[in-house]
Amino acid sequence: MKAAVLKGPGNLKIEHVPDPRPGNGEVLVRMKFCGICGSDLHTYRNPLVPSGCIMGHEWTGEVAELGKGVSKWSVGDRVWPGGNNKFPEYSWKPEFGWDPKARIQDDPVKEMGGYGEYAVYYRDALALIPEEVSDIEACMADQAATALGAIHASRLQIGDMALIIGAGPIGLWSLRCAQLAGARAIAVAELIQGRAHRAQKMGADLVVDPRHSDVRETLTDFFGGVGPDVVIDCAGTESSLHLAIEVLKRDGIIALVGLSNKPLTIDTWNMYVKGVELRSVLHLDFPGGMDLIQRKKVDCGDFLTEIIPLDRIQEAFEKLLHPDDEVKIIVRHSTNASS
């Protein structure tokens, strides 16, 4: 099969590799589309997986073959990886607890694989794509699930005020989910002009450049002099976390969504004085994310930038590492995709 194989930092190579075969309790999936996720960009720059890994987890496809003992699926079923994604037993080490690298190092293809024409997945990791949802829309259900997870983590309530830092795919999805959740006022901090413009078009009440020297004063004034009730940090940088802590209201909540490849320092004194609660987004709401799309609560066209063939994947990665208005780029497996 044809696949984009990660060969090292910044090196995705299109190769022909052996077709995977499903084992006991496994399903072979024929890939149709796969979205490029921000976590893929992190792995592309600083690989957390072995050389030879096939990344891609925002995919849609169809069941091509059933392994032994699989009865809940049929060949031809339209599926996406929105099923039971519990951490496998081998990711827990008795001597020191959970090993965050074990999950992707021991068996990377079974956790990803969307940049190849076929991949093997555990039967319970799959979910059916509703008839009302297109393959392209289903590629965005993972992002919707992450944004809903951020809303849950922030405990945002109707009438609350929110700041979203970062207007990439997850930041824009978080904006839409915060609107649906009943936020009274939403500000977005984004330094890239094209993405900031997208946030404005999607209805953010205020969009600011976090590099401006008066950004803290601007945000404090916008939030009535007390700051937002919640901050959803989709940037995951040291400066974004510092901004979140500084502008958040007393006893407010920060939901940390963005990822960093290096440790971040924070002002614990400021957190202590303000009673800041910092929460990570642990549980992604996969059923909820797909439900938003199925019920047409969102327009997936707000997030889609481009659909590209697999051969252009490295070009797309480099573009997303230095974006303007690019948000979601989706890879199309031309031999498999029909829409």
Pairing of strands 230-233, 185-189: unpaired
Low-confidence stretches of the chain (pLDDT beneath 50): 87, 89-91, 104, 106-110
pLDDT at 101: 58
Q: Which residues pair with 228 in a beta bridge?
A: none
- Per DSSP, the three-state class of 218 is helix
In angstroms, the CA 149 to CA 279 distance is: 11
Domain 2-140+303-332: assigned CATH number: 3.90.180.10
Give the containing element (helix H, strand E) for 274: helix 268-274
In angstroms, the CA 69 to CA 242 distance is: 51
User: What pLDDT, in 10s, does the model give residues 207-246?
Assistant: 999 999 999 999 999 999 999 999 999 999 999 999 999 9
pLDDT at 102: 54
In angstroms, the CA 211 to CA 237 distance is: 13
Calculate the alpha carbon distances from 306 to 34, 136, 330 in Å. Answer: 12, 11, 6
What is the CATH T-level fold of the domain 146-280, as seen in this structure?
Rossmann fold (3.40.50)
Output DSSP code: residue 314: H
What phi and psi, each to the nearest 5 degrees, are found at residue 154? -75, -15
Query: How many beta carbons lie within 10 A of that of residue 2, not counting itself?
Result: 16
User: What pLDDT, in 10s, does the model give residues 38-77?
Assistant: 989 988 988 777 788 899 999 999 999 999 999 999 999 9
Question: What is the residue extent of each domain of the chain?
Answer: 2-140+303-332, 146-280
Instruction: Kindly report the average pLDDT of the chain as a whole number.
Output: 90
pLDDT at 122: 87
Tell me how long the chain is: 339
pLDDT at 108: 42
In angstroms, the CA 31 to CA 301 distance is: 21
- In the chain, the DSSP E strands lie at 2-8, 11-16, 26-35, 58-66, 78-80, 92-93, 97-98, 118-122, 127-128, 161-165, 185-189, 206-208, 230-233, 253-256, 277-280, 304-309, 328-332
| DSSP per residue, 174-207 | HHHHHHHTT-SEEEEE-SSHHHHHHHHHTT-SEE
pLDDT at 293: 97
